[in-house]
Amino acid sequence: MNGRIALGVGAGVGLAILYAFLLAPLVVVVLASLSGGEVLAFPPQGFSLKWFARFFGHESFRNALWLSLQVAVVSTVVVSVIATMAALFQRGLSQRLAGPFRTLLLMPLLMPEILTAIGLLFFLYQIGLGNTYFGLQIGHVVITLPFAYLSIASALDQVDPALEEASASLGAGYGRTAFKVMLPLIKPGIITGGLFTFIVSFDMFAMSFLLKMVGGNTLPLALFDYLKYDFDPTAAAAATVSILFALGVVALVEKLVGLRRAF
Amino acid sequence: MTPSPARRWRLAILGAPALFLLVVFFVLPYGEIVMMSFRTASSSAPYGDGLTLANYARMFADGHYLGILGETVLVGTSITAICLLISFPIALHLSSVGDRWHTLFYACVVSPLLVGVLVRNFGWMIILSFNGPINQILLALGLIERPVRLLFTVEVVVLALVHVFIPFMVLPITTALRNIPPSLYEASRSLGAGRFSTFWRVTLPLSFPGVQSGVILVFVLAISAYVTPVLLGGQFVVLMPTVIVQQLIAAFAWPFGAVLAMILTLSTLSCVLVFAFATRGLVRRAAIGRQP
Amino acid sequence: MAQIEITGLRKAYNGAVAIDGVDLNVATGSFVTLLGPSGCGKTTTLRCLAGFITPEAGRIRVDGRDIMGLGPEARDFGVVFQNYALFPHLSVFDNVAYGLQARKVAKAEIRTRVDEVLGLVQLGHLKDRLPRALSGGQQQRVALARALVIRPQALLLDEPLANLDAKLRFEMRWLIRDLQRKARITALYVTHDQAEAMALSDQVAVMKQGRIAQLGSPRDIYQRPRERYVAEFTGEASYLRATVMAPVGPGRYRVTTAGGEVECGGPDGLTTGDRRLLLLRPESLQPGQAGIKATLQGRFFVGAAQHCEVRVGTDEVVKLYLPPQVELAEGAAITLAADAEAAWLLPDEAAS
């Protein structure tokens, strides 16, 4: 029995180390951003929010944050609509076609982001949208679409087809059935999908890097530029802002949908 | 039931936006990469008129780019292997915890994904810097006399990428493990196989479909990683994605960049196909099939 | 071949008690069935025995040795699962050989023993197939073979036939009983199917809410149930309120009911005036000259017989089976002769 206990404890310690490894960089960044000292160091010396003040004081960071939010919000709205429509479309397809369609929609997730970005760089240039806001937005929409689609389509899969049949037999047309029966039932999927779309867009790097407008940066890009020359807690504050948004997303998912149902 | 014309129209409208978006802004761009690799280079613009094979010739001319390709594949393979070794225990744990704890641990595994690659790398930069906690601990333990340069090495890039890709490996394996009916473990134990023997003869083989998915996914992601090698490897770690982006952004040599991207993609695809083919028997055997 | 002794077994889940003091003795080489509806604790008891669950209290002894501290792999039981639990990635042969490999038996001997047991279940020709290529009945036979080939000290079977269709279930019954008898192996069987339990077992333990309500041979359980629950579970039954008039011999009484006086059997020690329920099995009643007076209320023709309901007194209903050719009008008066051997007195829980 002692051997078994020792193994259990050893496994527990090992797992704790693994989970700590997973979370370490995030913890470090947040704590570094609260440092009271002048240098980016860990453990932080003292406690202060001044770096956040400096972050918001930087015009380039402020603009970057604003651009990131804009692009993310537009992505979320557009993608949620397109993904919901696509999921409903897939539901009406035959078995044979549904599989390939689903694979096509998941392709931007399965292909490396850098390659998709390169392709869009070339293509948008050809059609005159190179280095424009519109081009950047398209890139974000393409990459985030699979996230929303996955969430919405799997929620839709759980809806009993008999409900649609019942609705039709009671005289409701497709529109009424969709809006009054199916969409309300997949609301958690739509919300979860939307929130993940937001956060993926907000954090996106490679696509933004290649498609960005001259002089325009998203927050990750601004942070990247900053790190080339300065290595101080302002950068940590910028990074912490991203982390806070991520936490906010998780909290919203928990509140609106419940984490259990989301995963 | 044959769909009525009205139903066909409706279906078409529903699917049109997604299809349009993906065909025009995803499929065509990939086609454009292929096209671009055949265009002529130009000094004044990203590319010139006409088509040529000169760019491909340049790629294979000296061993330089092939060497980088080889190193990229090697690094990608190491990352995948290490990631698998670390992720399997995590997946085992995650698949066996009760529902109440599951959400918490799941969040721990997925959380790195939610903050973006840049923030994660930044965290590693802090941890591994001269004044960072690792150096401090090593100094305090007396293992080194002066702070060691930890950043800007291949090892660090591997470490950071393993960290990033753990969720991608853990999740498919966890799903596969959760699909194994618990009665199989009971049957194995009742027949006399101890915990380790059961793990080796039942759990491991039956988890293989998840392992295969995870390996393929992580390998593809590892080969095409850009941000992490740049931030944590600097000029000391030069991998294919770095070189490709250089060609596109710094040197404005789009055709050549496209060639490098094509070769990288084809190499990755070949590796994946070889792996999938070689392991298809293992996956087939492990299909759980219908349960009575 | 082992004798199993279970004492005072107790197990609860989150405050809900699954088994509450189970005592059972399984004699060497005998076939004992735990019978009851879902939730009665029969599967929990079996899983405690197998070592998959740790009970809070109680003792399990095999041939006198306490096995509570042993893990399932050390208990040497052959377990047959309801959903077969065949390893999907191993062939039939490898599935059956699994236990022998775990016991480090030599390869040549493994081959002989596996072939032998596959022959017993008539699956030798399928030994290289994967489980998913087999039908349900074939999978169940592989599961049986796998449990038998290791020559365990006892077989534990958890509703092994529940997922088979009715005809297969019937055939597999004989196979299981046959194999158990030939191998002379102690067997503990769990089922909710009373016909199965009665056909297979030397002893049946009827379980109710975590305890054993009655343990006895199938005949005892059926003919001399100790309480209404047991009577209900073992077959069709009707009950009449009865008052004891006088004992007329050892275990025999004369009682009075709403339909008249009847002679019947009962437990020892009842006296005049005791209020009881008279258990009447439908197959033991016939129309006759003397007996219980009743009126025919309804009948169903089911082919081999007529299932009838008759009313006795003002509010009691009795079921009986009549041969198909007997013609009776609804509402007609009928006198039921009860077989004194088959009528039995039960405690009347409502009359306390």
All structural domains of chain B with their residue ranges: 49-285
Inform me whether the C-beta atom of residue B34 falls under 8 Å from chain A C-beta atoms: no
User: Mean per-residue pLDDT for C38-64?
Assistant: 92
Residue A41 vs residue C30, higher pLDDT: C30
What is the model's pLDDT at position B231?
86
- Using the beta-carbon criterion (under 8 Å), do B184 and C163 form an inter-chain contact? no
User: Mean per-residue pLDDT for C250-265?
Assistant: 89
What is the model's pLDDT at position A41?
66
Q: What is the pLDDT of residues C246-257, one digit of tens each?
A: 898 888 899 999
Which residues are registered as beta bridge partners of C12?
C17
Q: What is the pLDDT of residues A115-136, one digit of tens each?
A: 999 999 999 998 988 889 999 9
User: Mean per-residue pLDDT for A11-37?
Assistant: 82
The chain A residue lying nearest B3, using CA atoms, is: A92
Query: Which candidate from C79, C131, C163 shows the least CB-CB separation from B190?
Result: C79
Nearest CA-CA distance, residue B200 and chain A, Å? 17
Task: Find where tokens 């405050």 sit.
Answer: C15
Inform me whether the C-beta atom of residue C281 falls under 8 Å from chain B C-beta atoms: no
Q: Residue B290: pLDDT above 80?
A: no
pLDDT classification of A259: cutoffs 50, 70, 90: low
Q: Is the CB of residue C299 less than 8 Å from the CB of residue C317?
A: no
User: Mean per-residue pLDDT for B167-191?
Assistant: 92
Cβ neighbours around C49 below 10 Å, total:
25
How many Å apart are CA C235 and CA C221, to the nearest integer? 10
Mean residue pLDDT of chain A comes to 86
Task: Find where tokens 């047959």 sit.
Answer: C80
User: Mean per-residue pLDDT for C97-118?
Assistant: 93
Q: Residue A260: pLDDT above 80?
A: no
pLDDT classification of B1: cutoffs 50, 70, 90: very low
Q: Residue C67: pLDDT above 60?
A: yes
Q: Is the CB of residue C79 less than 8 Å from the CB of residue C98?
A: no
Q: Residue A262: pLDDT above 70?
A: no
Chains A and B form CB pairs within 8 A to the count of: 219
Residue B246 vs residue B145, higher pLDDT: B246
Residue B99 vs residue A239, higher pLDDT: A239
List CB contacts (< 8 A) between A83 and chain B. Answer: 18
User: Mean per-residue pLDDT for A217-223?
Assistant: 92
Domains of chain A, start order? 58-262 (1.10.3720.10)
Residue C36 vs residue A172, higher pLDDT: C36
User: Mean per-residue pLDDT for B14-39?
Assistant: 92
Of A228-237, A249-258, C20-29, the range with the highest mean pLDDT is C20-29
pLDDT classification of C159: cutoffs 50, 70, 90: very high
pLDDT classification of C142: cutoffs 50, 70, 90: very high
Cβ neighbours around A21 below 10 Å, total:
15
User: Mean per-residue pLDDT for A201-226?
Assistant: 91
User: Mean per-residue pLDDT for C125-139?
Assistant: 92
Query: Which candidate from A15, A104, A204 shows the least CB-CB separation from B89?
Result: A15
What is the model's pLDDT at position B289?
58
- Using the beta-carbon criterion (under 8 Å), do B14 and A92 form an inter-chain contact? yes
Name the architecture of domain B49-285.
Orthogonal Bundle (1.10)
Q: What is the pLDDT of residues B8-17, one digit of tens each?
A: 888 889 999 9
Which of B72, B121, B83 lies closest to B223 in space, CA to CA? B72
- Residue B137 carries which side chain, given as an amino acid letter? I
List CB contacts (< 8 A) between B186 and chain C. Answer: 50, 52, 72, 79, 81, 85
pLDDT-wise least confident of A34-48, A56-70, B166-180: A34-48
Q: How large is the ipTM?
A: 0.85
3-state DSSP of chain C: CCCEEEEEEEEEECCEEEEEEEEEEECCCCEEEEECCCCCCHHHHHHHHHCCCCCCEEEEEECCEECCCCCHHHCCEEEECCCCCCCCCCCHHHHHHHHHHHCCCCHHHHHHHHHHHHHHCCCHHHCCCCHHHCCHHHHHHHHHHHHHHCCCCEEEEECCCCCCCHHHHHHHHHHHHHHHHHHCCEEEEEECCHHHHHHHCCEEEEEECCEEEEEECHHHHHHCCCCHHHHHHHCCCEEEEEEEEEEEECCEEEEEECCEEEEEECCCCCCCCCEEEEEECHHHEEEEEEEEEEEEEEEEECCCCEEEEEEECCCEEEEEEECCCCCCCCCCEEEEEECCCCCEEEECHHHC
Q: Residue B112: pLDDT above 90?
A: no
Domains of chain C, start order? 4-231 (3.40.50.300), 236-351 (2.40.50.140)
Inform me whether the C-beta atom of residue B129 falls under 8 Å from chain A C-beta atoms: yes
pLDDT classification of B292: cutoffs 50, 70, 90: low
Mean residue pLDDT of chain C comes to 90
The DSSP code sequence of A191-214 is: HHHHHHHHHHHHH--HHHHHHPPT
Q: Residue A105: pLDDT above 90?
A: yes
Mean residue pLDDT of chain B comes to 87
